[in-house]
Amino acid sequence: MKGKAEVIIGAQWGDEGKGRIVDSLADRVDVVVRYQGGANAGHTVVVEGEKHIFHLLPSGMLYPGKTCVIGNGVVVDPEQFLSEIGELREKRKDKARLVLSEASHVVMPYHKIIDEAEEKRRSKGRKIGTTKRGIGPCYADKVNRIGIRVGDLLDPDSLRMKIIENLEIKNLLLTRIFNLPPIAFDDLMEKALDWGQQMRPYIGDGTAIVNEALDKGRGVLFEGAQGTLLDIDHGTYPFVTSSSAAAGGACIGSGIGPTRIDRVLGVAKAYCTRVGEGPFPTEELGEIGERLREAGGEYGATTGRPRRCGWLDMVALRYAVRVNGLGGIALTKLDVLTGLEQIKVCTAYEIEGRRHEILPSRLPEREDIQLHYESLKGWKEDLANCRRVEDLPPEAREYVRFIEENCKVPVVLIGVGSGREQTILCGL
């Protein structure tokens, strides 16, 4: 992968295990870039039995000699950033050089308050189930051209003007609409200047660093957050996050041209999960859902919420292949299916008598979708120590083959446990 640009994205609703995939591929590249989302993400990496959860920092942070970039497309909560980097530094695990793009936007305290207040105000059926990390309101300000960027934190005059301009509106919103106390200018200004000083050593030109690395033939990994079906344009809108979680986001969120990308790898769990509200056709509300949740430890890394669980949805996965131009699939958590007699896979939806093998652009209510399933034979063998495809029991190999055949993309990596070494590389 030397000298190549590879994008790693979530091919489902997030939580596919992108962190561990990025971690296991990071040793082959020089630069790891986060390009969208913010502290709503929770990327879990287990190294030598120790669990690290990154919300904002790229998952390559544990590798010495690497450069990690937080790109312009990310929204950065300064307190979260400082606490994550502080914790790593304390453990002496801040092995990589970290560059925070000056063009990334700052999640301000009012964004988090508004996120929570808006969510509370939404009526039943309209709630999104956000992570309350201020993501939506921060991206809204960015698009509305009133956002505060990381670089502004280093320029007191411009910062003052921008905070005044924002508080004028935000305080009206807080007090008049949400019945909440206003935010005091002096406190916020002081805090923001302090964040700037503490973040100063990391702030730089992320776009230049990524492009120069590619110019020099260095390998760059773009680490997507959330997943395709949570993408603001291509996901199950409005039950989505507010950024471009699909592969196209890597260009915008880091400042590289689309022609520079060599390959897009989609990370998909061997089954499906979703946290928060919104459509999830293959969701299993009974025993199977519970079994997957317990065996897979399916509780949100950011909010601790139990994840909704269900069978693998090929209709959604084929859609992810389409909108991301996937060249390969990294299949995670295959081990979680061990012990099931039969494993079901949804291969088509039927809506108003029409068969869909790829997710249509608008999904009707769940009761108006008929799901077509195929059943595959399960296996009983423990997969934890499998390191080659040949080590897998025949039924597990058949399951992988079935996925490849059904979405016409090779499975290039298989995860059989949470450890860095519990990975089968089959085409990388």
Measured between alpha carbons, how far apart are the two ends of the chain, in Å? 8
Size of the site for ligand IMP (CB under 6 A): 19
Per the annotation, the verdict on 356 as an active-site residue is: no
H-helix or E-strand spanning residue 157: helix 156-172
Which residue lies nearer to ligand IMP by CB, 40 or 418? 40
The answer to the question of residue 42 lying near ligand IMP (CB under 6 A) is yes
The answer to the question of residue 223 lying near ligand IMP (CB under 6 A) is no
**61, 95 Cβ separation under 8 angstroms:** yes
Question: Please, what is the minimum distance in Å from the beta carbon of residue 74 to ligand IMP?
Answer: 12
Question: What length does the chain have?
Answer: 428
Q: Closest residue to ligand IMP, Cβ-based?
A: 276
How many other CB atoms sit within 10 Å of the CB of residue 15? 30
**315, 355 Cβ separation under 8 angstroms:** no
44-52, 102-110, 225-233, 331-339 -> range binding ligand IMP (CB under 6 A): 225-233
The answer to the question of residue 5 lying near ligand IMP (CB under 6 A) is no
Question: In DSSP terms, which residues pair with 52 in a beta bridge?
Answer: 45
The answer to the question of residue 309 lying near ligand IMP (CB under 6 A) is no
HSE of 107 in the Cβ direction (CA atoms, 13 Å)?
26
115 to 144: interface string for ligand IMP, x by CB under 6 A: -------------xxxx-x-xx--------
26-34, 35-43, 145-153, 358-366 -> range binding ligand IMP (CB under 6 A): 35-43
d(CA 312, CA 177): 42
The DSSP output letter for 357 is S
268 to 297: interface string for ligand IMP, x by CB under 6 A: -------xx---------------------
The DSSP output letter for 349 is E
**71, 253 Cβ separation under 8 angstroms:** yes
1-9, 40-48, 289-297, 327-335 -> range binding ligand IMP (CB under 6 A): 40-48
The answer to the question of residue 14 lying near ligand IMP (CB under 6 A) is yes
Question: Please, what is the minimum distance in Å from the beta carbon of residue 183 to ligand IMP?
Answer: 21
Sole residue written with tokens 């790898």:
265
**222, 112 Cβ separation under 8 angstroms:** no
Which residue lies nearer to ligand IMP by CB, 151 or 279? 279
Question: Please, what is the minimum distance in Å from the beta carbon of residue 14 to ligand IMP?
Answer: 3
The DSSP output letter for 74 is B
109-121 vs 156-172: helix crossing angle, rounded to 10: 20
d(CA 281, CA 220): 35
d(CA 268, CA 225): 13
Per the annotation, the verdict on 52 as an active-site residue is: no
* Selected catalytic residue, list 23, 43, 55, 231: 43
Which residue lies nearer to ligand IMP by CB, 13 or 195? 13
Question: Please, what is the minimum distance in Å from the beta carbon of residue 225 to ligand IMP?
Answer: 6
Question: In DSSP terms, which residues pair with 31 in a beta bridge?
Answer: 67, 220
For binding to ligand IMP (CB under 6 A), which residues are involved? 14-15, 40-42, 128-131, 133, 135-136, 225-226, 230, 241-242, 275-276
Active site residues: 15, 43
